[in-house]
Amino acid sequence: MSDSRTAIAQARRTVVKIGSSSLTGTDGRLNVPALEALVAVLAERRDAGHEVILVTSGAIAAAIAPLGLPGRPRDLATAQAAASVGQGLLIARYTAAFADHGLRVGQLLLTAADTLRRDHYRNAQRSIERLLELGVVPVINENDAVATDEIRFGDNDRLAALVSHVARADALVLLTDVDGLFTAPPDRPGSRHIPLVRGPEDLTGIEVTARGTAVGTGGMVTKLESVRIATASGTPVVLTTAGNARAALAGEPVGTYFTPTGKRTTRKRLWLAFAAAPKGRLILDEGAARAVQGGLASLLPAGVLDVEGAFEAGEPVELVNPAGKVIARGLVAYDSADIPALLGRHTSYLRARLGDGFDRALVHRDDLVLLRRGRKRAPANADAPAGGDGERTRPRAEAGVVPTGAIR
């Protein structure tokens, strides 16, 4: 795991996100010179043999002036209409700007559902992979025109982090209107620049606001969530201004560098930890909770006290300890309707009473991601299935990921 900027300079594949604040002039129109300057930097990066994926905001901002809107629309319907108009203008500009450097772009408009549902996630993954193989620069934005309030990011910061996962990027560069993280909003007297963040402990006492610029969304709060998603799974992040994009990609000390805090993990686990929308909850007894937290044991029905929600086998659920804290997420192996009859029962009993299909774990350890670690490692015998009398399992290393919470 690298704690130096060379990780950015040497990244084979980099996701670069540019925010609305950097693409919009004071008149509210799309800042075309800023867009072209970024494209020149990305084209250089491509020429140097690196892959780039661009996550770009600016669709709504681009439509403010053409539609004669007084400012960023607050209601969903107008925001959607503006995005529909603005996205066309935005991608036309990118297509022309990249063409000047002999490069083609491919547009991907994603909704939160594309990172929430595994089949959608895989589709996005396949498209990005193929575009890169074809030498195309993927240009990604949220599909604002169809995203509804319940299922949308709203900002592009978290989308960029999830795109980094989907694409297995080696680095994430967030470009905004401030040169990195400050101890408090930068216009506050006495606010100081922070060049390096090595983990959550370095963020103690930092004051960030969710209020973005007039055109941006989410402010620094969503940027730090984005950072948390990326760094927890091994992706280093630089946060800086659009004007510093070239220097940031070259590994120069601009903005704020966030070192990775966790290891790369499987896509399934990333999806489960950061993107999946849980469909229900399994309430674990003390022993099962400890075993799951200690060594990532499979969860058997004997260790479960209660089930909440309506879900089908294969859907994501939260695993909750007796104190009500969510400790893990997993893909459940049974429909919710079948689970009450299994609760508290040992596998041998279930196999004898209900047949062979009912001796499997409620959540298999391979389908589980730990969100909250136990205070210490589990004792030697806790690597058996949680709540279980079944097969013994090996304890496994876990990424130690921390979830972002529900995605808006």
Ligand X SMILES: N[C@@H](CCC(=O)OP(=O)(O)O)C(=O)O
Find the part of the chain contacting ligand ADP (CB under 6 A) among 6-14, 82-90, 116-124, 171-179. Answer: 171-179
Cβ within 8 Å of residue 368, ≥6 positions away? 272, 292, 296, 298, 299, 319, 328, 329, 330, 331
Question: Which helix H or strand E contains 314, and what residues bound it?
Answer: none
CA of 65: how far to CAs of 26, 34, 78, 203, in Å? 11, 17, 14, 38
Cβ closest to ligand X, residue 175 vs residue 282: 175
The one among 28, 86, 138, 212 contacting ligand ADP by CB under 6 A: 212
Q: Is 172 exposed, middle or buried (0-12, 13-18, 19+ CB in 10 A)?
A: buried
Helix axes 76-99, 32-47, angle to 10 degrees: 50
Q: Is 217 annotated as a binding residue?
A: yes
Contact between 65 and ligand ADP by CB under 6 A: the answer reads no
Q: For the chain, how big is the Rg over CA atoms in Å?
A: 23
Residue 262 interface partner, choices ligand X, ligand ADP, none, CB cut-off 5-8 Å depending on type: none
The C-alpha atoms of residue 296 and residue 272 are separated, in whole angstroms, by 14
Find the part of the chain contacting ligand X (CB under 6 A) among 122-130, 151-159, 284-292, 306-314. Answer: 151-159
| Token reading at 307 | 């089930």
Contact between 73 and ligand ADP by CB under 6 A: the answer reads no
Contact between 404 and ligand ADP by CB under 6 A: the answer reads no
Residue 220 interface partner, choices ligand X, ligand ADP, none, CB cut-off 5-8 Å depending on type: ligand ADP
Contact between 57 and ligand X by CB under 6 A: the answer reads yes
Cβ closest to ligand X, residue 83 vs residue 282: 83
Q: Is 57 annotated as a binding residue?
A: yes
107, β-bridge pairs: 139
Q: Is 156 annotated as a binding residue?
A: yes
The one among 14, 80, 217, 256 contacting ligand X by CB under 6 A: 217
Q: Which residues are annotated as a binding site for ATP?
A: 17, 176-177, 217-223
Which residues of this protein are in contact with ligand X, per CB under 6 A?
19-20, 57-61, 83, 141-142, 144, 155-157, 212, 216-218
